[in-house]
């Protein structure tokens, strides 16, 4: 059976089936019984899906990169740092240096260039990126006052633009933040998954029940986050603090 024929049988597009086959997109759980029915495999695909559910792989971050590139929309909660897609080179470099004190300048150059290369998704008309940033992120100094000032200034044009929105969750609503991990809701053509990252781990969540809980938590954070205008005002206030700090003796 060709991919086109199978797509017709199970009710998915040919493009989606091709991505499932090449592992460029996660397989939705509801597809498994349809495959079992199509091939008469008596629950084999469903059983395999259950076996692999939640398995952690060392290359999950690389897998996320592929999903990010294909996503129709991304909704990120940032509880510790400015989201990677929004980082300036200096801010990203300071983070990489903090995470790996033994890295050479050349190694840091490569990592920073790779992170900056991700920003091409903003050139895609079909993609949309929303970030909810904890207010603490604005005051967690990474790389010094000047690096932070430049980083926060770079956020202002992106607070509300055609490819996304940045909103700040203020301290007074801290209980509605998700946690100190990074969480990204990834909307693909035929399926929604969640990427969770914290410390030294990253995991792509495909379990519908966990995705539902994670999505509700993100929606609640969105509900209590400031509107774009108020978010921009809070970012500007933080910028003024760093401007004052930059004139202090070191």
How does pLDDT run across 24-33, given as a tens digit for each residue?
677 888 888 9
Q: Which pLDDT score, from 0 to 100, does residue 47 have?
A: 85
Which has the higher per-residue pLDDT, 149 or 114? 149
What's the whole-number average pLDDT of the chain? 86
Q: Please choose, from the candidates 197, 158, 219, 193, the residue with its C-alpha nearest in 3D space to the C-alpha of residue 71.
A: 193
Q: Which pLDDT score, from 0 to 100, does residue 95 have?
A: 93
Which residues, other chains included, contact 128 with Cβ-Cβ below 8 Å and sequence gap of 6+? 72, 73, 74, 163, 164
How does pLDDT run across 89-112, given as a tens digit for each residue?
999 999 999 888 888 888 888 889
How does pLDDT run across 178-226, given as a tens digit for each residue?
876 789 999 988 889 999 987 667 788 888 898 999 999 999 999 999 9
pLDDT of 62 strictly over 50: yes
Q: Which pLDDT score, from 0 to 100, does residue 57 have?
A: 47
In the structure, what pLDDT confidence band is assigned to residue 122 with cuts at 50, 70 and 90? confident
How many residues comprise the chain?
250
Q: Which pLDDT score, from 0 to 100, does residue 53 have?
A: 63
| Alpha carbon distance 3, 9 (integer Å) | 10
Q: Which CATH architecture has domain 60-245?
A: 2-Layer Sandwich (3.30)
Other Cβ atoms within 10 Å of 26 Cβ, number: 19
In the structure, what pLDDT confidence band is assigned to residue 248 with cuts at 50, 70 and 90? low
Which residues, other chains included, contact 10 with Cβ-Cβ below 8 Å and sequence gap of 6+? 17, 31, 34, 35, 38
Every domain range in the chain assigned CATH 3.30.870: 60-245
Return the H-helix or E-strand segment holding 75. Answer: strand 73-78
Min mean pLDDT across 63-67, 159-163, 223-227 is at 63-67
> What is the DSSP secondary structure assignment for residue 250, as one 8-state letter?
-
In the structure, what pLDDT confidence band is assigned to residue 55 with cuts at 50, 70 and 90? low
| Alpha carbon distance 130, 138 (integer Å) | 17
């Amino acid at each position: 059976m060709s991919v086109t024929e199978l797509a017709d049988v199970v009710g998915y597009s040919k493009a989606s089936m091709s991505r499932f086959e090449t592992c460029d997109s996660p397989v939705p759980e509801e597809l498994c019984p349809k495959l079992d029915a199509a091939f008469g495999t008596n629950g084999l695909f469903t059983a395999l899906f259950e076996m692999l559910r939640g398995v952690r792989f060392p290359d999950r971050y690389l897998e996320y990169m592929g999903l990010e590139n294909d996503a129709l929309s991304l909704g990120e909660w940032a509880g510790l740092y400015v989201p990677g897609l929004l980082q300036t080179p200096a801010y990203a470099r300071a983070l990489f240096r903090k995470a790996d004190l033994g890295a050479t300048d050349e190694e840091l150059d490569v990592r920073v260039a790779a992170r900056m290369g991700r920003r091409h998704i903003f050139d895609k008309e079909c993609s949309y990126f929303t970030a909810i940033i904890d207010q603490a992120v604005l005051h967690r100094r990474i790389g010094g006052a000047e690096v932070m000032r430049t980083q926060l200034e770079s956020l202002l044009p992106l607070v509300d633009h055609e490819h996304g929105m940045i909103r700040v969750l203020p301290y007074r609503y801290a209980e509605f933040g998700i946690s100190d991990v990074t969480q990204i809701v990834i909307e693909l053509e035929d399926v929604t998954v969640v990427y969770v990252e914290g410390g030294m781990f990253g995991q792509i969540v495909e379990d519908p029940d966990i995705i539902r809980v994670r999505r509700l938590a993100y929606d609640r954070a969105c509900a209590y986050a400031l509107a774009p205008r108020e978010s921009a005002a809070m970012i500007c206030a933080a910028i003024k603090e760093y401007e004052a700090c930059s004139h202090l003796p070191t």
